[in-house]
Structure 1
Amino acid sequence: MKNLTLAACAAAAALLSACAGGPMAMSQPFDQGMLPAAVQVPTGHKVAMETVGAGDITYECRAKAGMAGQHEWVFVGPDARLMDRSGKMVGKYYGPPATWENLDGSKVTATQVAVAPAAAGSIPLQLVKANPAMGSGAMTGTSYIQRVATRGGVAPASACGAANLGAKEVVKYQADYIFYKPV
């Protein structure tokens, strides 16, 4: 039993060190049935593009609204590279406002529809409804974007208080972004 536990720990350490070197490959083609209902794309839409976003999320220490003397880390915005399944960069994700931009120059912003919990230590799964695309290209006609398979990205664990009000911290994250278009 002890050898099995040591082997499992060694395998986990090897996996974690491999992950630290760069973005993990995407899982198999995404299955809507594996998602909470709140973040499933409505019928009548099909997958147009699947990407892995890997990068940073910036948080800022701010006073809590309506709660005198209390502070919290507030999401400021993302800065990530979007890669296809082979690991080739195809675009970027940044904000505010949240913007997905393809290398062909087309880009889209979106409005959040729903979120659902993800694994501990990871930002939530998300469904957004796309606004009309700017420019002509891969983002043209995008109707919905899902953020799934999230890893990391949660607010910093460090203290946020009057002493460091306005301080910014950057955390690493990764997520799959699935783009949909009407059928």
Structure 2
Amino acid sequence: MAAMAAIALSACASNMSAPAMPFSQASLPAAVQVPAGHQVAMETVGVGQITYECRAMKDMAGHEGVFVGPDAQLMSRRGQQVGKYYGPPATWESMDGSKLTATQLAVAPGAAGSIPLQLVKANPAMGMGAMQGVTYIQRVATQGGVAPAMLCDASKMGSKEIVKYQADYIFWKAV
């Protein structure tokens, strides 16, 4: 029985250490590529929702659905929750309590019906942990999340619609 347990543990350990295919940004548009001198620190899959609200347009010429913020779980490639992503302001938070905000540098079109790819420059992390030292975050492999084609007029002011989305968030650190 002990031998069977040892074999099972050995199989689990070898499965856990099997190298995953590292993320490559070679196929991404140049605008959302991380500059040389950085390496992938963590790959996550964000699964959640984006809220849009009916508001008056800035030029007061009508109404539009405006991005309010995201609410997503950040999952490891193995399916375990490792953090969350929420806003405003856009905040990535690890399960260890470390978190950061970032400034958008660039976007590029995603797949049809999906939010754009994005590159952000991380602000210094708050708290010690996984987010410490992160320099850039890429949003890639986006699915869904675009503003709904809701009828937005004066009678709908303040109404909100929630849209499901998924995206990979790739965290980079300086080498």
TM-score, normalised to structure 2, is 0.87
Aligned partners of 2:152, 2:37: CA distance in 1, in Å? 44
Q: Which runs of 5+ in 2 are unaligned?
A: 1-19
Note if 1:160 corresponds to 2:148. no
Aligned partners of 1:30, 1:64: CA distance in 2, in Å? 39
1:41-60 equivalences in 2 (<5 Å): 41-60=34-53
Partner of residue 173 from structure 2, selected from 159, 173, 181: 181
The residue that corresponds to 1:74 in the other structure is 66
RMSD of the alignment, in Å? 1.1
Whichever residue aligns with residue 110 of structure 1, its letter is: A
Whichever residue aligns with residue 161 of structure 1, its letter is: D
Deviation at 1:47, TM superposition (A): 0.1
Partner of residue 128 from structure 2, selected from 129, 136, 139: 136
The residue that corresponds to 1:170 in the other structure is 162
The structure having more radius of gyration, on CA atoms, is 2
Which one is further off, 83-92 or 153-162? Answer: 153-162
1:24-72: CA deviation from partner (whole Å, max 9, x where unpaired): xxx953211110000000000000000000001000001110143x111
Partner of residue 79 from structure 2, selected from 68, 84, 87: 87
1:134-173: CA deviation from partner (whole Å, max 9, x where unpaired): 0000000000000000000000112111110110110000
The residue that corresponds to 1:125 in the other structure is 117
Aligned partners of 2:21, 2:64: CA distance in 1, in Å? 37
TM-score, normalised to structure 1, is 0.83
The residue that corresponds to 1:14 in the other structure is none
Note if 1:61 corresponds to 2:62. no
Partner of residue 140 from structure 2, selected from 145, 148, 156: 148
Secondary structure in structure 2 of the residue aligned to 1:38: helix
Note if 1:112 corresponds to 2:104. yes
Deviation at 1:107, TM superposition (A): 0.3
Aligned partners of 2:156, 2:21: CA distance in 1, in Å? 43
Change in Cα spacing, 1:160 to 1:29, as seen in structure 2 (3 Å) is: farther
1:90-101 equivalences in 2 (<5 Å): 90-101=82-93
CA contact (8 A) 2:65 2:150 kept: no
Whichever residue aligns with residue 111 of structure 1, its letter is: T
Aligned partners of 1:158, 1:28: CA distance in 2, in Å? 40
Aligned length: 156
> Runs (4+) of structure 1 moved beyond 3 Å?
none
Aligned partners of 1:29, 1:55: CA distance in 2, in Å? 24
Q: Which runs of 5+ in 1 are unaligned?
A: 1-26
Secondary structure in structure 1 of the residue aligned to 2:134: coil
